[in-house]
Chains A and B, each alone.
Chain A
Amino acid sequence: MSEENFILKLKQGDQSAYSELLLRFSGKAYNTALGLLQNREDAEDIIQEVFIEVFQSVSGFRQQSKLSTWIYRITLTKSLELIRSRQREKRKGIILNLFGKEHLINVTADEPFYHPGISLENKEMSAILFNAIRRLPLNQRTAFTMNKLENLSYAELAEIMGLSVSSVESLLFRAKQKLRELLGDYYEKNIR
């Protein structure tokens, strides 16, 4: 089935088309959300929101981009919204701490994240890498995670993130540089 026909069936509310949609795209969306959020429960919640959004908005989808690009974009937006709200909670926690209101804080410490798709021999090292990724600025984190976990090209990333290819190249370069720096510090403190 061509993408145009598939989108037409989705717009018509064809139930079998929705099953097909989940079959084709839930893996991509989930893997993206999981890589960004580094938490299975959060990623599953986000995927629910993503596909409800797709269902509700597909009638307005103008096919100016591929369906996968659109779904990636929604996933990215919702994942980043959640990350930002968690960061706001953390900042609030720091302020409450300053005023001796620690009992009002509900922030859990960063736990190591083990991606289910990583081989056993790389699990520990990947957990260290994911921890370092958390410390990147959001745009670098997005570019690096999606490039590594979804094997998206610079052009695909540029389309999803709404940036030029050169901006994506720059983001990835800076992300890798920053990660190497963070990992170097980690090595000095924990391994050496």
Chain B
Amino acid sequence: MKTKEEWVDKVMGSLDGASRAELNPAAKEDLLKRIQNAGCRMRDAGYGMQGAGYRIDPVKPALAWKIAAVILLLVSLNVFTMVYYHKSSAGSINPAKSVASEYFSYIDHYNL
């Protein structure tokens, strides 16, 4: 009677000597036709080379989502900053004056 270890060893060795699975001939033929057709389309579209060559890689969805998220974050930050600034300067009589006084506050610091 096999022990557990013997059984596990036998299962672990069950792939030894396995021969390679081959793609069925019909699938291979179909694939070759697809490649040949793709080559013809590229020629007809005027890409110049006989078969392989030019293509425009579309942006991968994951990357597109990341870019969209970054843009959304930047826009949100801008909106938040504008709203926050608008609220904080809402009490002042002249918002432009308050911006100017803050911007040129270094002049006071250096006694210019």
B-binding residues in A (CB < 8 A): 10-15, 18-19, 22, 26-28, 30-31, 34, 44, 47-48, 51-52, 55-59, 115-119, 122, 125-126, 128-129, 148-150, 176, 179-180, 183-184, 187-188, 191-192
Contact of B46 with A by CB under 8 A: no
A-binding residues in B (CB < 8 A): 4, 7-8, 10-12, 14-24, 27-28, 30-32, 34-36, 38-39, 49-55
In the complex, which of the residues B10, B19, B23 contacts A26, with contact meaning CB atoms closer than 8 Å?
B23
Other CB < 8 Å A-B pairs besides A26-B28, A176-B12, A187-B4, 5 of them?
A: A10-B52, A15-B39, A22-B31, A118-B18, A148-B15
Interface of chain A: mostly helix, strand, loop or mixed: helix
A129–B36 CA distance with the chains assembled, in angstroms: 39
Closest to A58 in B: B52
Residues from chain A with a CB closer than 8 A to the CB of B31 are 22, 26, 47-48, 51
Residues from chain A with a CB closer than 8 A to the CB of B16 are 148
Residues from chain B with a CB closer than 8 A to the CB of A183 are 7-8, 11-12
Residues from chain A with a CB closer than 8 A to the CB of B55 are 56
A112–B92 CA distance with the chains assembled, in angstroms: 75
Residues from chain B with a CB closer than 8 A to the CB of A149 are 15, 18, 20
A84: min CB distance to chain B, Å? 11
Residues from chain B with a CB closer than 8 A to the CB of A31 are 20-22
Residue contact A55 to B18, C-beta cutoff 8 Å:
no
Residue contact B22 to A18, C-beta cutoff 8 Å:
no
Residue contact A34 to B8, C-beta cutoff 8 Å:
no
A26–B30 CA distance with the chains assembled, in angstroms: 13
A183–B35 CA distance with the chains assembled, in angstroms: 43
Residue contact A15 to B51, C-beta cutoff 8 Å:
yes
Closest to B2 in A: A191
Residue contact A52 to B52, C-beta cutoff 8 Å:
no
The 3 closest A-B pairs by CB, nearest first: A13-B51, A13-B50, A117-B19
A148–B18 CA distance with the chains assembled, in angstroms: 8
With contacts A14-B50, A52-B35, A55-B35 known, is A117 near B28, CB below 8 A? no
Residue contact A47 to B27, C-beta cutoff 8 Å:
yes
Residue contact A192 to B4, C-beta cutoff 8 Å:
yes
Closest to A188 in B: B4
Residue contact A13 to B52, C-beta cutoff 8 Å:
yes
A179–B39 CA distance with the chains assembled, in angstroms: 45
B35: min CB distance to chain A, Å? 5
A162–B95 CA distance with the chains assembled, in angstroms: 59
Residue contact B28 to A59, C-beta cutoff 8 Å:
no
A168–B18 CA distance with the chains assembled, in angstroms: 22
A30–B12 CA distance with the chains assembled, in angstroms: 22
Residue contact B21 to A34, C-beta cutoff 8 Å:
yes
A81: min CB distance to chain B, Å? 10
